[in-house]
Structure 1
Amino acid sequence: MSSATGEPSRPTDLFASSPLHDVMYGHIHSAALRAVAVHRIADHLAEGPRTAEELAARTATHGPSLHRILRLLAVRGLFREDERGAFGLTQEGQGLRTDLPDSRHPAVLMFTDPMFRRSADGLTDTLRTGRPGFTEAYGASFFEYLAKSPEDRATFDAGMATLSGPVDELVAQSYDFPPGSRVVDVAGGRGGLLRAILTRDPTLTGVLFDQPVTVAEHVLNGPGMSGRYEIEGGDFFVTVPAGGDFYVLKHILHDWNDEDVLRILGSVRRAATAGARLLVVDSVLPEPSAPHPGVEVDIVMLMILRGRERTAGEFEGLLARAGFRAERVLATPSLPSIVEAVAV
């Protein structure tokens, strides 16, 4: 047989990349992404491109298979292949390195974990029943399961910390708290957001409120923080600390259905005096539907919890029913917006 000549065939319109094509193969892309994250391939490209065989020798992986996976992810813009067949990291792919302060590696491991994959597989039944796929797959609610599974809890906590840390600073710089204000961070975790808020103005004071086991590991005892914060443990469905000028709920309401959101807001309203302000930090979906990363987060909520992302109108309605008047929505340089409301 003579040697091949000419150009290979090009994709026709039928097979060209399209929204349908990309979604159809989405699970393959995320599986490939998890594979290179688990084997920490990106860490071995920090000093420059390497061939798949060179990477395989360093990572105890199978070279030919690695080449094919990297080729796929190069098409998706995470790696680039040079003329000698060596792969390097693109700017977007740098987020897979574990040695960088803004690494997205823990978040990749979290969202591609079997917890999320099995929940996504259940969307077919969720569409029929309305129940989260996670509950059907694991026989428990998401947070009940994590409380009994330390390894999965660690995966979740690490992934969320990776995503939440940069958001805390961006949210804090997006709202001007009046000097001398007392800020109550409801379900504030270990206090990352409250620390970012208090750091910006030495006249501010705050209260970190969450489950006792959570606030026991708070991060507020840093320079310039002495005497400026209080720690309280409790259940926001029952009560929250009184006396705040501002109450903050960051990435809390989207975890819950409307009935539970009203219970949480009711606790805050009972604690807040008239005129106190509530800042709801969550994705605010556009109306009508338009591209927005919160739409994807909304499906994650559908998969694992009974919560949802909401539009500004939906927030306004819930706040009004709980005794708050929504006043404005502030954009931030990150995914969530700030819905500002006042207790009436």
Structure 2
Amino acid sequence: MAAARPKHRYSESPLRALLNIISTSVDAIDAAYASANLPHPSLDAPYDPHAPGEALRSDPGVAAAAKNIIGAAAQMIAELEHPFQGVTSTAYAFHQAAAISIASHLDLSEILHDAGPGGVALDEIASKSGASEVLLAKVLRLLATQHIFREVKPGVFTNNRLSSTLNKGKPYSVLARSREERLVGTSGRAALIEFTGDECFKASAALVDVALDRDPKDEQIALKRAFALGPSESLFQWHTRPENKARKERFACAMQGTAESDNSEGLFQGFEWGSLPYGALLVDVGSGTGGTLMRVVKRFPGHEFRIVNQDLEGVIETTKRYWKTNMPAYDRVSFQTHDFLTPQPYACAASNYYCKPHVFVLRHILHNWPTAQARVILRHLRAAAGPETQLVVLESALPVVCRESDGTGHDDVVPGAARPPAPRPLLANGGRASASVYRMDTSVYRMDMTMYTLLGGSERTIGEYAALFAEAGWRLERVCRLPGTEQCHIVARPGAKSID
């Protein structure tokens, strides 16, 4: 008689583990809404940023639970769908990018908004927008399948929570009168979508050629290939061409929108600005409008900080106007025309403590540049630094996807360097739910590809920042991570010696 086959003891399946994460997180979100006596925002209703139910989505507990659900749901899909289906879905994602850009350019959200929840038939949308009814049907159904827009009856579409974020806040009749002015005064969301669908999308198509090119003398920045930029011409220089005036204005609108969408408290949840001494000298390198340190001054008026805004000539004139408009009485601010790829104007004698900056600020600067140029920027700052000068880099930290350290060892010795991993069996970075760079923007990994495609730049891991700092004479001191995002305040001090 054959021996009885032992029963196999099954461990919890990955699907069950993911389901438990989803169930626990849904319970947490439901409890938060029940406690606040608020309904969940409806996917079918337009987005209202001022609704209490929307504000609750930003609560740290609710946001963390939502991230777990998104990551677990996406990982469950990856577990269940045919593997080649997952690959082909990614390969065909360019159609979605084209469709959302078409929707914004044609002001479809505004056309549907004016009609109300009953929706608009395809023939009327085509008549108003001037686009092909056949094309519109394909665009809207593809997007509606991604829960962007809603088909309420066959061939009749309306807005929903996602599509309404494309609304520019102007009636369609106003938008139709002036293509040049349609983005002026808007939130910047549509401008960002259209910039992404133009410069970013077209440059990305050239990235394959860059990857396959084995000639090191050839241009390696995909944007330059896609738009035939000059050998030494950057995105920003190309935008100054007369024929690119509309692109330049659109880019400015998009960037201003992302800056304004930053968590207003995020600037004060990292570096301890209030710990700086009275009259400290703060230099904003590549300041843009100078809004970062203006917010610091407003938060700590009794510190009487001395502020220096540095940027290129055309930008610094805008910076002066911005400060004159928003803080006309503040007399401890100055403006310098400066290219940060050249030596720092504040390279004073080491014995003159008063002119040594207490803080150099670099906000979203380093990710624009390849390592060689980023090193030059940091070396110029190191040469101008005093023994007590701090470097504060406001950037995103690119998480590795595995659960191990990135191999630098800094996680063990630098406060804040280690990033808490997502619960198993999720990917350590949270997978699909990996935190965005900005609330109005995209994941740090997409931004990493975008910076490389447009400028040859990079988002960087904490280990890569530590190595870059060391090469430029700085020492990574601590990392202040901002809640709900991959943004950090990365703080460094002068190393043992300056590097010339």
Alignment-derived partner of residue 467 in structure 2: 317
Encode CA deviations 1:173-202: one digit per residue, 9 max, x unaligned. Answer: 323302534321110112232223322221
Q: Distance in 2 between matches of 1:296 and 1:225?
A: 41
1:65 CA drift (Å): 3.2
Task: Give the match for residue 493 of structure 2.
Answer: 342
Q: Distance in 2 between matches of 1:150 and 1:25?
A: 32
Secondary structure at 1:281's aligned position in 2? strand
Corresponding position of 1:96: 166
Deviates more, 1:266-275 or 1:92-101: 92-101
Which residue does the alignment assign to 1:136?
225
1:216/1:122 Cα in 2 relative to 1: closer, same or farther (>3 Å)? same
| Amino acid aligned to 1:317 | A
2:104 to 37, 42, 45: 37
Evaluate the alpha carbon distance shift between residue 220 and residue 53 of structure 1 in structure 2; reply closer, same or farther with a 3 A threshold: same
Shift of 1:245: 1.5
**What letter corresponds to residue 297 of structure 1 in structure 2?**
M
Question: Aligned residue for 2:210?
Answer: 126
Task: Give secondary structure in 1 for the equivalent of 2:262.
Answer: helix
| Greater Rg by CA | 2
What is the CA deviation profile of residues 213-247 of structure 1, one whole-angstrom value per residue up to 9, with x for unaligned ones? Answer: 10101122214752132111111122335332111
SS in structure 2 at match of 1:116: helix
Distance 2:83 2:456 in 1: 37
Secondary structure in 2 matching 1:82: strand
- Count matched residues: 331
Q: Which has the higher contact order (CA 8 A, sep 6+)?
A: 2
Give the structure 2 partner of residue 239 of structure 1. Answer: 343
Range with bigger deviation, 221-230 or 115-124: 221-230
The one of 285, 291, 297 equivalent to 1:186 is: 285
Q: CA deviation at 1:83?
A: 4.2
Cα distance in 2 between the residues matched to 1:159 and 1:122: 23
Q: If each structure's strand is expressed as a fraction of its own residues, which one has the higher value?
A: 1
Shift in alpha-carbon separation, 1:54–1:122, aligned structure 2, 3 A: same
Greater alpha carbon shift after TM alignment, 97-106 vs 261-270? 97-106
Q: Map of 1:103-114 to 2, 5 A cutoff?
A: 103-113=188-198
- Alpha carbon RMSD of aligned pairs, Å? 2.6
Q: Hey, what does 1:211 align to over in structure 2?
A: 312
**For the Cα contact (< 8 Å) 2:149–2:160, is it kept in 1?**
yes
Mapped to 2, the partners of 1:117 and 1:154 lie a distance apart of 18
Shift of the 122–65 alpha-carbon distance from structure 1 to 2, 3 Å rule, reads: closer
Q: 1:147 aligns with which of 237, 240, 244?
A: 240
Please tell me whether the aligned partners of residues 171 and 334 of structure 1 are also in contact (alpha carbons under 8 angstroms): no
Q: Alpha-carbon deviation of 1:334?
A: 4.3
Per the alignment, residue 20 of structure 1 pairs with 87
Distance 2:130 2:311 in 1: 43
Shift of 1:259: 1.4
Against the structure 1 CA distance between its residues 103 and 189, is the aligned structure 2 distance closer, same or farther, given a 3 Å change threshold? closer
Counterpart AA for 1:25: Y
Alignment of 1:232-311 (within 5 A): 232-242=336-346, 243-288=356-401, 290=429, 291=431, 292=434, 293-311=443-461
* Helix, strand or coil at the partner of 1:112: helix
Aligned counterpart in structure 2 of residue 177 of structure 1, from 264, 267, 273: 273
Query: Partners of 2:475 and 2:389 in 1: how far apart?
Result: 11
Counterpart AA for 1:229: V
Matched residue, 1:79? 149
In the other structure, the counterpart of 1:10 is: none
Structure 2 vs 1, CA of residues 305 and 103 (structure 1 numbering), >3 Å: closer, same or farther?
closer
Q: Does 1:67 align with 2:137?
A: yes
What TM-score does the superposition give when structure 1 sets the normalisation length? 0.86
Inter-CA distance 46–331: structure 2 relative to 1 (3 Å threshold): farther
- Uncovered stretches (5+) of structure 1, i.e. residues with no partner: 1-12
